[in-house]
Amino acid sequence: MSGRYRAVLCDLRSDQVLDVLPAQNIKCEDYIGKTGTASFTAPVTDATMARRAREAIVPARTAVWIERDGEVWWGGIVWTTGITPPSRGRPGGMSVQAATFDSYLAHRLLTNGWTGTNVDQLDITRQIVDWAQSTPGGDIGIEIDWSQTSGVRRDRTFSRYDLHVVRDVLDQLANVEGGFEWRIRTYRDASGRRVKSLQLGYPTIRSSRTELVLSAPGPVIDYHMPEDGTTRATHWHSRGATTNRNQASASYPLMSAPVSISGAIDPGGWPRLDGTSDYTSVERQATLDAHARADLTRAWTTTQVPTVSVRLDGSGISPGLLGSPIRLRVRDAWFPDGLDARYRLIGLTTSPAERGRPETADLLLEPAAAPAALAT
């Protein structure tokens, strides 16, 4: 039996329930490493429903919790809406687009700046999120666990004059060599309370150590294994801030030390493939070099990101498994001898059953790749 879904609409700051409206065409996505989205339509059959929708759904002010069988399945902020009037007997509706709660941090600036020396990188992240919520009107209820540490300590300075976007600062911290992963996790706790919490993982988020096995033939309906060579690189350079303050002389950005994949050209036989990245606020050579090494590792190892479609009912899949290990077994024309590969679940897209279509989940998988050997 397919799950029952509903959209609970709340005030973003207080989480007070404003209304619970019927929802159609629900689709929700959640990821590790990027903002997830959700969309649905609130059908409007009369003036009363139109008034309820207008009062409850206010972009940038309303939070939406999508529940499946009473459990929190997705949570985020409504950012855009659109209305469609009834016509020729067809009901009208309000289309809603929302994004996970981390999207709020893309609308906040680090107006006070931040400076720290020899601070655990997870503490830097928590302190910045805590500051964002300490400002008037800035507390949207993100809960922070201060106990976890990574053992990796950083020196960082973010000037208030640069008006850094908080989300960008957190991503930059996470994506350096020896970095971590972060997301805003949503769930219902044992008391029934809806929770949004800052989830940190070093070096990655691991929600469960229990391996979930998916097979085709079996629970797997379909799979897609694209491979993108346009993002692959064998050599990398990163540009940092322009450190020359003398306007009378030529200005040049800080450049990372050249870094490459050891053995890719010879004896590997790969052509040279150059990649670049920009970090205009980075003024320290060591920090910029660490970014370059991390960027090249991603460019070399993440060219294939498989997607697997499964029937959701009975599969054991839920948003709480993001970060968990997945073992995929396939035997078909492409893999006559059988594929038996291990991955990590880094994305989940849910589509409820509608009009004869089964309730499905699309799983975005990260290969369990060996670390790249770098040469400098």
Q: Please check whether residues 289 and 355 belong to one and the same domain.
A: no
Domain assignment present for residue 73? The answer is yes
Q: Please check whether residues 254 and 322 belong to one and the same domain.
A: no
Q: Are 180 and 174 in contact (CB under 8 A)?
A: yes
Q: Please check whether residues 16 and 123 belong to one and the same domain.
A: no
What is the total count of domains within the chain? 4
Q: Please check whether residues 364 and 263 belong to one and the same domain.
A: no
Q: Element (H or E) spanning 21, and its range? A: strand 17-21
Of 45, 74, 101, which closes a domain? 101
Q: Name the β-bridge partners of 212.
A: 326
Q: What is the CATH number of the domain that holds 328?
A: 2.40.450
Q: Please check whether residues 320 and 220 belong to one and the same domain.
A: yes
Give the Cα separation of 330 and 29 in Å (integer).
25
pLDDT at 249: 66
Provide the domain limits for residue 160.
108-201
Domain assignment present for residue 299? The answer is no
Count the Cβ atoms, other than its own, within 10 Å of residue 304.
Answer: 13
Q: Please check whether residues 161 and 272 belong to one and the same domain.
A: no
pLDDT at 1: 46
Domain assignment present for residue 270? The answer is yes
Domain assignment present for residue 207? The answer is no
Give the Cα separation of 99 and 107 in Å (integer).
12
* Ordered per-residue pLDDT tens for the chain, 376 residues: 467 899 999 999 999 999 999 888 999 999 999 999 999 999 988 899 999 999 999 999 999 999 999 999 999 999 999 998 877 667 789 999 999 999 999 999 999 999 999 999 999 999 999 999 999 999 999 999 999 999 999 999 999 999 999 999 999 999 999 999 999 999 999 999 999 999 999 999 998 878 899 998 888 999 999 999 999 999 999 999 887 666 666 778 999 999 999 999 999 999 999 999 999 889 899 999 999 999 999 999 877 889 999 988 777 889 999 999 999 999 999 999 999 999 999 999 998 887 777 889 999 999 876 667 888 7
Domain assignment present for residue 206? The answer is no
pLDDT at 369: 65
pLDDT at 332: 93
Give the Cα separation of 368 and 375 in Å (integer).
22
